[in-house]
Amino acid sequence: MNKELHIPYQNYKGEYSVREVQPITLSYKNSEWHGDCWHLEAYDIGKQAKREFDVDKIIRGVVHFTLKSVGENTHESKVDGIMNKIKGGGL
């Protein structure tokens, strides 16, 4: 049984999109692209390739699209502020 997820994501260029993926593994490791962090390894259906997603970039995507859906400003400084609160335990 395939379990697809639609994940909001911010890529290395700072662009946001929603990716349709089939998760494979979740692990904490170092990679050339993302450094030390949690990675979701998944098959990206749109790209038709296995990819690694930095979980922080998924969370940034959730914040961005949530702000957008309620009509709030999605400027990166606002997303950064919310991310800092999440990481600092302030939410």
Give the predicted TM-score (pTM) of the model: 0.85
Q: Tell me: the pLDDT tens digits for 33-68?
A: 778 999 999 999 999 999 999 999 999 999 999 999
pLDDT at 90: 67
pLDDT at 91: 61
Distance CA 36, CA 14 (A): 19
pLDDT at 82: 92
Distance CA 72, CA 53 (A): 26
Distance CA 48, CA 64 (A): 25
Q: Is the pLDDT of residue 1 over 60?
A: no
pLDDT at 68: 92
